[in-house]
A and B are shown apart, each in its own frame.
Chain A
Amino acid sequence: MPIALLLPATLGLLFLILPLAGLVIRAPWSTLPQRLTEPGVLTALRLSLQCATLATLLCLVLGVPLAWLLARVQFTGRRFVRALVTVPLVLPPVVGGVALLLVFGRNGLVGSWLDDTFGFTLPFTTTGVVVAEAFVAMPFLIIAVEGALRGADTRYEEAAATLGAGRWTTFTHVTLPLVAPGIAAGAVLCWARALGEFGATITFAGNYPGTTQTMPLAVYLALENDLDAAIVLSLILLVVSVAILAALRDRWIGST
């Protein structure tokens, strides 16, 4: 193995795992059990997992067709649309939250209509958390799925078409199975990003225990006066998410 690769690879790995080691070393292990059973912790954890999962489902429903559109359909301005899709990636999440408020807020373009027509507002609701997380996480899914679609061999789709399959049948029976690993990878990225979401969530959905206070928000507030609690919360979020991802990886992609 060339040293020119090994050295930066090792440095890169250290750079990624050292902060994690810092958390583990600094964790207040003696008081860990009683901190774990504090009711607020489980509430925030459950809310985090629920919202991230719902956001991922929303991203799948909207993002996979959008990725297909970008990968398979020629239309003018496609490059521009592709660039637009990545906007939530570059936008600081807090700015994303403000932007969401301007559209879906009580006085927002869509939000005021929702409020007038249905008496329903998104900010400060659990649905609002899902919306904020989906906004920030969707590009991860779209980019992964689009990449998989563009890499997939279109001859399978063409073959299906020549055998009489309609576009919808081709999509569901040929295209989707073909890019399933890409969709799975994208969904995992999307879920992980949604789980860690902080800025857009606190800006758009606010922070209230049981309704909108996800783990990252709880960690941030714990940091204000209790570093140990913040470390414990971070570790819980980390362990749970890594465990879930590892389990899913085995099931979906097969252990490698």
Chain B
Amino acid sequence: MADQKNKAKQYQSFEDKRETKRPILLNCVKAFLVGGFICLIGQVITTFYIYYFDFTEQTAGNPTTATLIFITMILTGFGLYNRLGQFAGAGSAVPVTGFGNAVISAAMEHRTEGFILGVGTNMFKLAGPVIVYGVFAAFVIALIKTIFLQLGGL
């Protein structure tokens, strides 16, 4: 048993030396540029809503998010977002467009299993954890804040 484990360890380092590694630095640069560019588009849309419609800096966030997700939906539908994802990595995954893509791609993929058990059940299979832990984290932070304020705060 220990012998087998040793052999496996030896093999893993043998294999590791022959593996093509992720180009981490290059990936970071790409992610920074693409992610930054998506945020720039978001900023342009926000400014557009503030200047041409009756929105303020506080209220323009929601229509901006909706617009970005709409664009993502079209890109995902035409099979372009996954290509962007392969190039940009975290750059296209972290912004809200990445969240949109996770929901939309899953919904499209499982259409063949019907609208209830297919789309309905699987739509959030990738984005679900973001919601679960997002809500949970918000709850914990709110709890800490409340306790802190009740104790007198600063």
Pair from one complex: no
Residues of B within 8 A of A (CB): none
Residues of A within 8 A of B (CB): none
